A and B are shown apart, each in its own frame.
Chain A
Amino acid sequence: MRISSFAGASALALVLSSGAFAQEASLDLVEPIAEYKIYVSENVAKLVEDTTAFVAAVKAGEVDKAKALFAPTRVSYEAIEPIAELFSDLDVAIDSRADDYEKAEADPEFPGFHRIEYGLWEKNSTEGLEPVADKLLADVKELESRIASLTFPPEKVVGGAAVLMEEVAATKISGEEDRYSHTDLWDFRGNFDGARKIVELVRPLIADKEADFLKTVDANFDTVDTTLLKYKDGDGYVTYDKLSEDDRKVLAAAVNTLAEDLSTLRGKLGLD
């Protein structure tokens, strides 16, 4: 294992040492990155819009409405998580989980979407959530403004495809993310869409050289799509507990393989 990854690394070093390739690659990336910035901006605008409605429902004490808005609101956040995570203070404020706090749900520091999710589903109430909701909206708006002035680092953009798969593989595939509402399949949708978008943007740069690689990646994305499709319900998805054990395994294998494959995307594009 260690030996083979070392061999892989020296092969990569060879690729990287041909400086011309790297140079050319980063020039070629200008357009995909500009396009990706538009994609992220659109998503964060949608996130602000949806969060505004979600927060209004929470503050009005409309539990059912807030529950209905929770999952769709998060999808645009999940799609752009690699960029949102560049601002770790905001990512913590918006999307951290009870596990991140020693007193878990009872911890006064526990903020954001999942704090509200806990109140809505576990307590069936919006009591005490008003300040949390206000803070969430403020953080989401802050995220929008920071993204607007961000120069997107190419390696973060291209690496983002793998990062999204790592997130799913490490802590989402088990249904830990939305543990009160069980709306995890919506988040998956956002994560996979976000990763696939990045692959689509760089596809023209590697289509010739990396045809086999792209074929494998596409096949795994397709597996994910067909699997998730089985659980579609209206505009969204049924709850995570309905996911069959077999399909969970299929998804897990696809995610792990996508994480493996997409982790080479940066190197393939000559990005250090």
Chain B
Amino acid sequence: MDSNFPSEKLEEICDDECQNKTRIFCQRCPSLVLSPKQAKLVKKEFFLPNMFQKNDHTPIEGVTLNDFWLVTNMMTFDNVGFSKAVDNIMYLICADCEMGPIGWHSIDDKKAYYIAVARVKHG
């Protein structure tokens, strides 16, 4: 599922303060990315390359996503991997199976790490 998140579903995953109610996992493996109440739901438009593109003969395809979990300190993550920076953006991946990008971080803003709501599992 690589689309934007239906808004009624958002209520199920965030509490009154817009923090994540549940734990956040990789979609592909049991790796824990974030513990409850560690991130804040924000609206932000950002283009992320597709996770399932395995063919390197075509240009990078992706989607613009709108719903992200915002984390203000990178050490808040339980498990996560950071890609090398491309145009000042580091892409976040699962630390275990390396599925990604599941989010992004701009090296110009040390206090913002974004996980795409549509690219992780809640529960």
The answer to whether A binds B is no
Q: Name A residues whose Cβ lies closer than 8 Å to a Cβ of B.
A: none
